[in-house]
Structure 1
């Protein structure tokens, strides 16, 4: 049975301006002022006080898992770089009480912010629209349980159409859900963090809704989409989720 991999992480609650800048440079975005302004906007979002799990810690963990998977992901430009851009943005908007007046999901609003930045600063070239669309679609892939509107607590009621880039979406979803297969200590911390983000929900209602979400993951033939993540996390994820039931 494979051991749960421990990934060395940067300081948990600090995002790396250097890494963000390198990613933007790889996209041929060279306006340093725009790069730093967008980084500050992203960092401020992940530092919002209502967050406990969807913070810089989660983004750093996702980036560490991305680095772990690079050898398996397409070497073309539209591979790991597009995934990384999507990971930076995928939870940049996270509200548990549905505050958007247009009833857009968190994922939709996060994707919109990514699209806005890339449209404004990505140089014009024949593949620009395709790159932006792939980043957008990968962010939308993190809906996971599309019929529920969220992967954590299904209370938003927001319906949406999700179009996945078939080559990269499995990696995006698996990286985002790697936490389910974390070691028990980190998984229990995750559960506590999610509860903190839904502190406004009465305990009995929260437990019922949370169990519904977790049971949907357990009911899948496999939780993870890629062989690499299945081998590394599938068994531990099922143990973690089963222990909560």
Structure 2
């Protein structure tokens, strides 16, 4: 499904099937790395599924799609610049495809916004970052699976250090005026997300 979606997206900008296949294999390799327990192809698919139902509200669907595919291209738990490096990769690819600079800038903005998930003046960006966080508002069993997979990605860190850092991140979400910036996601997910986060903090604090 994801491969067909990506190849179809590329076909709107290039007829070079060799290039398209090469770009897909590169993505597939990155997102299928052994350390990718949560930030993998399934994560990309979930974001797409959460957004495709509101496709008609998105001003530039293609740039949002490129952002989905490249926003976690670089993922190293020991680094603080994953979003910047992922955005840089997307910019290189989109330049190769000859896409207009203003649209490239939009894709870059999408990806960089996942660093802090702050509200944007661009509603497309808000829809994208909301979808990236949609797992927070899932049913408890799905949420538990999510944070268990994230813990595996951070298995380099011992429990005490990880728990302290994770709690800090979770409390940052609770301190936001609202986790989800768009009404579409806020109405359905905000309440459950806060309950899930508070419950995880309680588990981590034991």
- TM > 0.5: yes
Q: Which runs of 5+ in 2 are unaligned?
A: 202-206
The correspondence for 1:113, drawn from 74, 78, 89, is 89
Q: Which runs of 5+ in 1 are unaligned?
A: 1-9, 11-15, 99-103, 147-162
Structure 1 position 164, deviation (Å): 5.6
Name the TM-score, length of structure 1 as normaliser.
0.78
Check the 8 A contact 2:117/2:129 in 1, yes or no: no
Structure 1 position 122, deviation (Å): 2.3
CA distance in 2, matches of 1:193, 1:200: 13
| TM-superposition CA deviations, 1:149-204 (whole Å, max 9, x none) | xxxxxxxxxxxxxx966232111110100010111111101100110010011100
Check the 8 A contact 1:138/1:165 in 2, yes or no: no
Aligned residues: 201
Q: In structure 2, what is the equivalent of residue 143 of structure 1?
A: 115
| TM-superposition CA deviations, 1:52-98 (whole Å, max 9, x none) | 11001100101111202213223xxxx22111111110001101012
CA distance in 2, matches of 1:209, 1:145: 18
Q: In structure 2, what is the equivalent of residue 230 of structure 1?
A: 186
Q: Go from structure 1 to structure 2 and tell me whether the alpha carbon gap of 1:168 and 1:54 turns closer, same or farther (over 3 Å shift).
A: same
Check the 8 A contact 1:86/1:138 in 2, yes or no: yes
The correspondence for 1:32, drawn from 17, 37, 51, is 17
Whether 2:55 is the aligned partner of 1:70: answer: yes
Q: In structure 1, what is the equivalent of residue 42 of structure 2?
A: 57
The correspondence for 1:213, drawn from 169, 172, 191, is 169
Specify the SS of the correspondent of 1:71: helix
CA distance in 2, matches of 1:63, 1:31: 25
Name the TM-score, length of structure 2 as normaliser.
0.92
Give the aligned CA root-mean-square deviation in angstroms.
1.7
The correspondence for 1:166, drawn from 116, 119, 122, is 122
Check the 8 A contact 1:62/1:176 in 2, yes or no: yes
Q: In structure 2, what is the equivalent of residue 196 of structure 1?
A: 152
- Which has the larger share of helix? 2
CA distance in 2, matches of 1:165, 1:120: 28
Q: In structure 1, what is the equivalent of residue 62 of structure 2?
A: 81
